[in-house]
Homo-oligomer: A and B are copies of this chain.
Amino acid sequence: MAVIRFGVSVESNLLERFDEVWKERGFVNRSEAFRNLIRSFIAERELEERGEVVGSLVILYSYGTSGVDYRLNEVEHAYWQKIISSMHVHLDEHNCMEVIAIRGEGGEIRKIADALIGCKGVKQGKLVMTPLRME
């Protein structure tokens, strides 16, 4: 397999920090760290195109903020047939973590996740997708 060398431009402090982190994580050199990032990035995208997958969306929000409770429930019910169930943890007096299990086509799951992450009041959201049928 042909190996290609190409140039990348990044801010110097970002590159410095990156170099520290990949060393700590045990990569042998910068290119290996990049190959690893590239592979994950592609794998994630391919899942979206792969037919039925199952997604776990982790969101953090502060309850009560501008009706976020209601809005999340509204979006979830609009897609209730795709959403298996969710687990809710009260982190403290104000903050909630919710993990929402979603089943469907990759693109569809991404759309539902984006709608939930986009609700005003949601501070953070991260979607993990995994293929339903594994070899």
Contact = CB atoms under 8 A, between A and B. Distances in A.
B5 A12 contact: no
A23 to B, nearest CB: 11
Q: How many copies does the complex hold?
A: 4
B2 A14 contact: no
Say whether chain A's binding surface is mostly helix, strand, loop, or mixed: mixed
Nearest to A16: B4
Contacts of A128: 56, 58, 126, 128
B60 A87 contact: no
Interface residues of A, number: 73
B90 A77 contact: yes
A113 interface: no
Contacts of A13: 1
A1 B8 contact: no
Contact of A63 (B21, B70, B84, B123): B70
28 contacts: A6-B15, A6-B30, A9-B31, A11-B35, A14-B38, A14-B39, A17-B42, A18-B38, A18-B42, A21-B41, A25-B45, A33-B41, A54-B97, A56-B58, A58-B128, A62-B134, A63-B70, A63-B73, A64-B73, A77-B90, A77-B96, A84-B85, A85-B88, A85-B90, A86-B88, A87-B87, A87-B101, A89-B101
